[in-house]
Amino acid sequence: MKTVSYMKLLRCISCEQEYDPAQVDYTCPACGPLAGTLDIVYDFASLSDVFTIDLLKERRGSTIWRYHELLPICDVSCQVPIPVGSTPLYRLDGDLGFALPSLVLIKDDTRMPSGSTKDRATAIAIARAREKNAPAIAAASTGNAASSLAMFAARAGLPCYIFAPATAPPAKLVQIRAHGAKLLAVEGSYDQAFDLCLEVCEERGFYNRNTAINPYLGEGKKTLALEIWEQFGYQAPEAVMVPVGDGCIIGGIYKGFSDLLDLGLIERIPRLIGVQAAGSAALTECWELGEDRCSPAATRTIADSISVSMPRDQLKALRAVRKSDGFFITVTDKAITEAMALLSARAGILVEPAAAAPLAGLKKAMEIGKIAADEQIVLVHTGHGLKDIGAVQNAAVWNESIHLPPDISEVNKALN
């Protein structure tokens, strides 16, 4: 079943050349894969009558498809019936060992079907691949995008090929294999796996699920912004903190708020704050130097999901932070581990290292005066702790098990 498409054109964010969506699949032919990332531009004049707060309030659907007018899928039958979206937004309070701003909210995408934010982009990827009758779909990933894609491809009956570093957390690699995808464990870095995936997709005609070059997938990630806006009472919070590796999530969130601004549904875009691991901070270094492009950086961090030497969606990430008057900040692995322990023990949220980075970033930003005490902050938690149980175990070492014999007197001794 076809729906009305409000997708108007594709625009290169570097040279601003515009393309018909039928002309180009991935990046601007003139600017190339790294500089030529594309934006999807919608017919906002027509959308203003059909995408309204009143109409949204009447909708019962709770997946990302409730925003279908702002998504680039025409054929509803190509969607995979896996419920993606409407993850909770709730207040973080209690004693975390440091002063919190007046309002801190958690957008908890650990509740997604595969356990990570990546499901938002994958839902779009699978639908697009089916619309184009692609013979197979592929992705390069440190684990979360791959396990998400493997799950959706299994449901869609679409052959799936994953390029992942062999050093990715075992739980993520098992999840990929369990869903029947062909796992190509690369004895190298994520960046090398990414380049291999690009070559294979081009040679074999596989649909490429990599958000950094595929403009349609950022449209899935922008639903984070649409949900935050709706859950926040059809308003934008003052700031959103996001873990950043390639830059795809923060770029997608910016696109969501930008679309809402173009529709006149918000008055401003919230400050977008990118949090990077200190051991993988190419975007932070680029932003601090005021440069337009990143240089490759060393990668050494426990947060595998944001461990990237050369961010592939760097232009959109830099735009998101600069246009929103935000900033980048780095946090150490020690700070990330401490944030994981705080979230699990004090807030009941089990997250992988990358997903704990926003809380670690909030603590540091408060200490150096980059966030005000009365600011409204949303922390985006992107991946469940079971994705990297080894890291979770290391974060919980302070709470060791008590080993004892099956004897009530020994139990009482331990309890006393």
Q: Which long-range contacts (CB under 8 A, 24 or more apart) does 139-142 make?
A: 139/163, 139/197, 139/208, 139/209, 139/210, 140/164, 140/190, 140/193, 140/194, 140/195, 140/196, 140/197, 140/198, 140/210, 141/168, 141/190, 141/193, 142/168, 142/172, 142/190, 142/245, 142/304, 142/305, 142/307
What are the backbone angles phi and psi of residue 394, rounded to the nearest 5°? -65, -35
CA distance 284 to 293: 11
Q: Domain map of the chain by residue range? A: 89-115+217-395
Q: 125 with 209: CB under 8 angstroms?
A: yes
Nearest to 311, CA basis, from 46, 24, 321: 321
Residue written as token pair 């919230």: 270
* Side-by-side strand order, sheet with 207-208: 182-186, 160-165, 137-140, 207-208
Q: 313 with 203: CB under 8 angstroms?
A: no
Exposed/middle/buried for 261, CB within 10 Å: 0-12, 13-18, 19+?
Answer: middle
Under DSSP, is residue 76 helix (H, G, I), strand (E, B) or coil? helix
Under DSSP, is residue 413 helix (H, G, I), strand (E, B) or coil? helix
Q: Which CATH number fits domain 89-115+217-395: 3.40.50.1100, 3.40.50.300, 3.20.20.70, 2.30.40.10?
A: 3.40.50.1100
Exposed/middle/buried for 373, CB within 10 Å: 0-12, 13-18, 19+?
Answer: exposed
pLDDT of residue 60: 87
- Token pair for residue 173? 């690699």
CA distance 93 to 100: 8
pLDDT of residue 211: 84
Beta strands in 193-325 (DSSP E): 207-208, 239-243, 271-277
pLDDT of residue 162: 96
Low-confidence ranges of the chain (pLDDT < 70): 1-2, 397-399
CA-based angle 174:180:182, to the nearest 5?
85
Residues forming beta bridges with residue 9, ordered by sequence position:
41
pLDDT of residue 399: 67
CA distance 244 to 311: 9
Q: 212 with 294: CB under 8 angstroms?
A: no
pLDDT of residue 1: 56
CA distance 46 to 373: 41
Compute how many other C-beta atoms are within 10 angstroms of the C-beta atom of residue 263. 17
What are the backbone angles phi and psi of residue 187, rounded to the nearest 5°? -80, 70
> What type of residue is 109?
D
SS (H, E, C) 180-199: CCEEEEECCCHHHHHHHHHH
CA distance 85 to 136: 25
The pTM of this model reads 0.95
**Each residue's pLDDT tens digit, 114-173:** 999 999 999 999 999 999 999 999 999 988 999 999 999 999 999 999 999 998 888 889
Nearest to 168, CA basis, from 305, 271, 320: 305
